[in-house]
Structure 1
Amino acid sequence: MSANTTVKTSDGIVEGKPVGDLITWRGIPYAAPPVGPRRLRAPQPVQPWHGVRDATEWGNASVQHKRGTMLSVGKYQPSSEDCLTLNVLAPSRPSSKPRPVMVFIHGGAYTLGTSATPLYGGGSLVRRSLRDSDGIVYVSINYRLGALGYLDLTQFSTPTRTFDSNLGLRDQVAALEWVQRNIAEFGGDPSNVTVFGESAGGNAVTTLMATPAAEGLFHRAISESSAPGLVATQDRATGWAREFVGFLGDGGNVADTLDQADVARFGRAGTKLAFSVLKNTPGLHPFGPVVDGDYLPKNPLDAYQDGSAHQVPLIIGTNGREGTLFPKFLDALPTNPARIDTLFSLTDPAAKDAVTDAYPGYPSQSTAIDIGGDFTFWKPSLEVAEAHSRRAPTFSYRFDFAPRVMKWLGLDATHGFELFAVFGINETLFGKVMTAPGGRKAFAEVTEKVQSNWLHFARTGTALPEWPAYDETARETMIFDARTRVQRDPRRDRRQAWEGYKGYASQKTEPSAT
């Protein structure tokens, strides 16, 4: 199966470009631009084109704050509502058989991020895949963010104007459908697709596994630092949408305002809503999937418990100190004692002492940060691993590696840092500078461990033999660190302290916005 820069897709011909020993195709539309009457609607089919479409430049990022589109110092990716594109990266050398496909969904709290971010380029991962197989085909996608992608505005539909729910989630499904239709033309195997993502992208993975429309579109899943519980109830989403419209200023006709407001106005109202939600319900975020009873019929955590989640092999895990990033760069978690007090008062006051007692040093700032990180990422990811392991191969990990400079910064193995291993950042100038004070050899070794396991899993649906499957008896977990090892039931005391705690799912009444 030969690789060629010119490929015929179901919508038209695209022309990519060589990148060393790889070929890249960028900015390929997988759905029609969601603009004009398609704003706030489910993704629609691409209008086929004639001739050859240039696919050598990144497509637009989704509408967001400029900082989320930074590509390098002083250089930013253009953003637009016209953003539903994806990118393909494949080896240039021929293959005798179709290659496994890995589809990456970027993170950014469903408000920031773009597939053009250099970290997500995928070159190191694809080249590593060629060492012990014919390689993989790597796909990365853009999808709608913020209020234009993850706020349920369906209550404002009129007889002449419909607004759909779960738009970003629908975009991701549309991208996976594109992969099924077209990836064979790029040398990929549509019957062996791994979807993987980090943070909001990890939440997208755990949510897609509970989305009926995604059934059969992927065959393995890797969820890195997901926050599986950050899926809104319909009632909560309805309240947030009303609050958003209040910040937007509807002028008496909400549907017309939603149609006509420019993206800057949407952004300002979304920022006000995010601050309001954090103040009133620490640990929640207004932008994300919604249990609408239709496209997403139930909370994904419930789907894992009752077995209705797609029973595909799963890698799921978190980092050693997820929370340290947030007070410094994205203050959006319950990472101080005041927010933790509010969190438990709204959810389960009786659980507070048991949980905080499991974190010696509380209420110190450092310990509060760990509680907030575990509440958001580790505890619900562990729930997914436990439930899913009863029905499908499941592999649990914790990424603990942090070079000396990360420890100096007080970040340790913080949220998102495992991506540096997944995407081989140790090989770059940035990675070498980061490890100049120490840790370069260990960084290379942990990168090799992560990439080899991710790639083996994408090929086979199982980890390498050194990594046993997770179950609720042994709870064997891979600890990626300077000395990578398997550990039984890591942080057992913390796990037991959180048992039975349901978070906001146990809240009886909604707080009033102030």
Structure 2
Amino acid sequence: MSLVLRAAALSALVLLAAPASAQDPVVRAPAGAVRGVAQQGVRVFKGLPYAMPPVGAARWKPPVAMPAWSEVRDATRFGAACVQPKGRADSIYAWDLEQTSEDCLFLNVWTPAQAQNAPVMVWIHGGALTTGASSDLMYDGAGFARLGVVVVSINYRLGALGYLAHPQLSAESPEGISGNYGLLDQIEALRWVKRNVAAFGGNPENVTIVGESAGALSVMYLMASPQARGLFNKAVAQSAYMISMPELKQARFGQPAAEAIGASIAAELGAKDLAALRAAPASELIAASTRVGYFPLGTVDGRVLTRQLVETFDREEQAPVPIIAGFNSGEIRSLQMLAAPMPANAAAYESTIRERYADLADEFLKHYPSKDLKESILAAPRDSLYAWTAERLVRKQTAIGKPSFLYVFDHSYPAADAAGLHGFHAAELPFVFGTLDRTPRHWPKVPDTRTQRDLSAAMMSYWAGFMHSTEPRAKDHAQWQAYGSDRAYMRFAERPESGTRLLPGMFELNEQVVCRRRASGDQPWHWNVGLISPPLPPAVESCR
């Protein structure tokens, strides 16, 4: 028996072994029958394999759909998360994972007890494409299920296991490409949803993909990928970042070719060929990729991702779907590694900005003035990564005639304020999921007050309304207008507040910066802004 088949067989034996109760719900789906649990009007099914284990010879190959099983499968425990590096133990994002493995392609389903033709939400977790898991307690889908939504959360391959490109991998591929395996996993999970979700009461023609941070980056990749077309109908991107990607075979935009990056990891491992690479323990692979500074991203390979995201959206080649997109006011407060070092003084700051931004310096200093250096240094990367991306997404979807909704999460509470984390990166997650009491152990504790509960209930209603009808609505709260010509947005503070023209001029400034970098072809666009920006290339007439 092959290693892959043996792993699948052992996994099935374990999952079929749990004792069953007569009250446990059973769903007979095309993938096979599954037995879950019923909890307060919600049926929950965990650890469903949507693809064969990507281990051994299957490492760095596209996912293969899991064959249907014949026995009733126990679905009461989460499947393993992808192998990943351990984060700092004191990080607000630190969460203990019960199990990690290369055999990680599992998904989970929460569904209303009597669901029929319900909207479907597919949740893609964040973690810089390096860490994370669908088993995180903050991602519990029961709250949305009680609002009539079938929730599916997925695991996918991470880090070098999910995004490594290499010349020998491309050579063995029938399409001549490599990388993007984690994205292909997400696409395979969406195919599973298309085939199976009706058995759980969901409507396969009303699927909304939702992600935060790297999950929102994945949402954009899915919108851009021809291979994902038709697998979803709406999108929600929370704190997405439309940064430049490596291209498969050529160095471009100041980045090495993706294959060259993979070759450097192989050299660090001392792996002379694919057999050695595939034989390397996952822990050693992760360590080697960390030593060479590997940062996983999608690869422009001409097939899965055909071009840079900015170009795909400019050419209107993205999925024509309605969207909610937004960012948090304090994104960089918890991501200080993305901020520039503090300058000696205001004069040094202004001098460096004028040197780096030339004719755009006055506009940059208007938005990020020297009178409050700390806030300006935090705001510049927030806007270039997250605010610009959110507004770009709603602008581009509006331009192709799709309802598009912009937001900023600007809410805080005493523990977050005490830690200097007003509106920090991912702070909206427990509010969106209604899991205020299930945050990681070092997360600023959300107080159990009516203000917090009401804001969470409102955000869940807006999100669920969008999934049900494309109209984000919350009873007794402000109407969320589509972005449209007046640039409408929603601000989530103590309460939802509607407004127009968020951060005037911010989008235009960052669009100019990215436009020049695209035209020059030798600068990436990501967190290299402000004091750590290279000198900007000269102005150009068009980015197309």
TM-score w.r.t. length of structure 1: 0.85
Match of 1:418 among 424, 428, 433: 428
**Offset of 1:232 from its aligned partner?**
3.2
Distance 1:419 1:160 in 2: 38
Q: 1:79 aligns with which of 100, 104, 110?
A: 100
Pairwise CA distance, 1:357:
3.5
Cα deviations by residue, 1:230-278 (Å, 9 ceiling, x for unpaired): 533333575354345434435462323321111111111221233xx7x
Are the equivalent residues in 1 in contact too, given 2:121–2:207 (CA < 8 A)?
yes
**What are the Cα deviations for residues 353-376 of structure 1, in whole angstroms up to 9, with x where unaligned?**
532431123782432122112211
CA distance in 2, matches of 1:88, 1:428: 19
After superposition, where does 1:177-326 map in structure 2 within 5 Å?
177-234=191-248, 235-236=250-251, 239=257, 241-249=259-267, 251=270, 253-274=272-293, 286-326=295-335
Aligned residue in 2 for 1:467: 480
The one-letter amino acid paired with 2:163 is: Y
Quote the residue 2:527 is aligned against: none
The one-letter code of the counterpart of 2:292 is L
Residue aligned with 1:425, SS:
coil
Counterpart of 2:534? none
How far apart, CA to CA, are the structure 2 residues paired with 1:252 and 1:85?
29
User: How far does residue 334 in structure 1 lie from its aligned partner after superposition?
Assistant: 4.0
Deviations 1:321-361 (A, max 9, x none): 2111112xxx3x244368x99x9999966545532431123
Output the CA distance in 1 between the equivalents of 2:355 and 2:218.
Answer: 26
Shift in CA distance, 374/160, structure 1 to aligned 2, threshold 3 Å: closer
Is 1:481 aligned to 2:493, yes or no?
Answer: yes
Cross-structure match for 1:280:
none
Give how far 1:216 is off: 1.2
CA distances 1:466-501 after superposition (whole Å, capped 9, x unpaired): 111112x31111111114211111111433432412
Query: CA offset at residue 387 of structure 1?
Result: 1.5
**How far apart in 2 are the matches of 1:344 and 1:85?**
47
Distance in 1, Cα, partners of 2:406 & 2:469: 17
Pick which of 242-251 and 62-71 moved more. 62-71
C-alpha contact (below 8 Å) 2:43/2:111 kept by paired residues: yes
Which residue of the partner structure matches residue 454 of structure 1?
463
- Tell me, yes or no, if structure 1 residue 364 matches structure 2 residue 376: no
Residue 433 of structure 1 and its aligned partner are, at CA, apart by 8.6
Letter in 2 for 1:172: Q
How far the C-alpha of 1:182 sits from its partner, in A, is 0.3
RMSD of aligned C-alpha atoms? 3.2
The residue type paired with residue 218 of structure 1 is: F
The 3 A distance-change label for structure 1 pair 476 and 17 is: same
Partners of 1:209 and 1:346 lie apart in 2 by: 37
Partner AA of 2:445 in structure 1: M
Q: Spell out the pairing of 1:28-107 with structure 2 (5 A cutoff).
A: 28-67=48-87, 75-92=96-113, 94-95=114-115, 97-107=116-126
Mapped to 2, the partners of 1:354 and 1:220 lie a distance apart of 35
1:112 Cα offset (Å): 0.6
Deviations 1:31-78 (A, max 9, x none): 111111110011112133331221111101011023499999995321
| Superposition deviation, residue 25 in structure 1 | 0.8
Question: SS at 1:47's partner residue?
Answer: coil
Does the CA-based 8 Å contact 1:158-1:255 persist in structure 2?
Answer: no
Q: Does 1:393 align with 2:403?
A: yes
Aligned residue among 402, 407, 420 for 2:412: 402
Structure 2 equivalent of residue 144 of structure 1:
157
User: Could you tell me which of 185, 188, 206 is aligned with 1:174?
Assistant: 188
Q: 1:497 aligns with which of 505, 509, 512?
A: 509
Normalising by structure 2, we get a TM-score of: 0.81
5+ residue gaps, structure 1, are 130-134, 278-285
The match for 1:20 is 40
Q: State the Cα distance separating 1:4 from its structure 2 match.
A: 7.0
Retained in 2: the 8 A contact 1:71–1:116? no
SS at match of 2:60: coil
Of all paired residues, the percent bearing the same amino acid is 30
Distance across 1 between alignment mates of 2:370 and 2:354: 21
Q: 2:445 aligns with which of 422, 431, 434?
A: 434
Partner of 2:133: 114
Give the match for residue 283 of structure 1: none
Q: Which residue number in structure 2 is paired with residue 281 of structure 1? A: none
Structure 2 counterpart SS, 1:498: helix
Q: What CA distance in whole angstroms lies between the structure 1 residues aligned with 2:92 and 2:503? A: 37
In the alignment, the residues of structure 1 paired with residue 75 and residue 131 of structure 2 have an alpha-carbon distance, to the nearest angstrom, of 24
- Tell me the alpha carbon deviations over residues 208-228 of structure 1, each in whole angstroms, 9 at most, x when there is no partner: 111111111111111100112
CA contact (8 A) 1:335 1:370 kept: no
Shift in alpha-carbon separation, 1:318–1:75, aligned structure 2, 3 A: closer
- Distance apart, 1:90 and its partner CA: 1.1
**Aligned mates of 1:202, 1:74 — CA distance in 2:** 20
Question: Residue 195 of structure 1: SS of its match in structure 2?
Answer: strand
| C-alpha distance in 2 between matches for 1:344 and 1:264 | 42
Q: Is the 8 A contact 1:71 1:77 kept in 2?
A: no
